[in-house]
Amino acid sequence: MFHYVPCYSNDMCFRILQARLDLSKELDNQIDQDTIWRYFRQIVEGVEHIHHQGVIHRDLTRANIFLGKNNNIKIGDFGLATFVPDGVSVKISGGVRNMAYRAPELIAQEKAKAKANDTISITQKADIFSVGLLLCDLLYQFQTDSERFIVFRDIKEGSSPDKVNPILSDFFDLNPLHRPSATVLLQRDLPWGDDRSNYVQELESKILFLEKVC
């Protein structure tokens, strides 16, 4: 069984990243690149922290990424989360909420499970695929849901739409074993910004995290 342990602080008033993106679209004021990469870095650091605790989130979407009053990222909604060590595949009972951001191997297994009434296998690399789609969302700030759907669909089918930055290529490898870990991503020479260490310290004390209880 899982339960949430919120750390009460002055920035517990969250805005959903989805609302931030939608507001920028309505105002015709796209989020600048520095902010995008700061958001993304914090998402990856959050995922790294979660994975180091032996947790797969399984539902990383715009609607589950929150912003505090200082625009620091919080990862929320662990309702589908599963405990599993890195590199290990586990059987789960499924439970789909948002298909758009799910890794293709999970979608395929969900369809097979529906027919066979069986469980599906999952590794931490499923979260990495979702992280790549989140970066795609941030970088391209799609004007319509249908535009996002088409690009995401093509990615999951193994094609490489013009919109997909080469940076994202191995995020979307159809073989989960070939996707990078969150730790490997953070070691790459990307425009992360210069406040990584400060955020990691804040993450330890303020992120919404899970505890496993017997």
Told to judge if 59 belongs to the known catalytic residues of this protein, a careful annotator would answer yes
Distances (CA, A) of 52 to 12, 17, 56, 85, 101: 24, 24, 10, 8, 22
Catalytic residue among 11, 34, 59, 127: 59
Q: Are 13 and 112 within 8 A, CB to CB?
A: no
DSSP SS3 for 197: helix
Query: Any idea which residue has 């994202």 for tokens?
Result: 168
Residue 12 confidence (pLDDT): 44
Residue 208 confidence (pLDDT): 45
Q: pLDDT higher for 208 or 168?
A: 168
Residue 214 confidence (pLDDT): 37
Percent of the chain clearing pLDDT 70 (strictly above): 61
Lowest mean pLDDT among 10-14, 99-103, 162-166, 178-182: 10-14
Residue 126 confidence (pLDDT): 92
197 pLDDT above the threshold of 50: no
pLDDT 10s digits, 112-147: 665 555 566 788 999 999 999 999 888 888 888 888
Domains of the chain are: 2-212 (1.10.510.10)
104 pLDDT above the threshold of 50: yes
Distances (CA, A) of 82 to 15, 20, 56, 137, 154: 25, 28, 5, 25, 28
Q: Read off the pLDDT of each residue in 87-112 and give the average, rounded to a whole number.
A: 68
pLDDT 10s digits, 26-57: 445 577 888 888 889 999 999 999 999 888 99
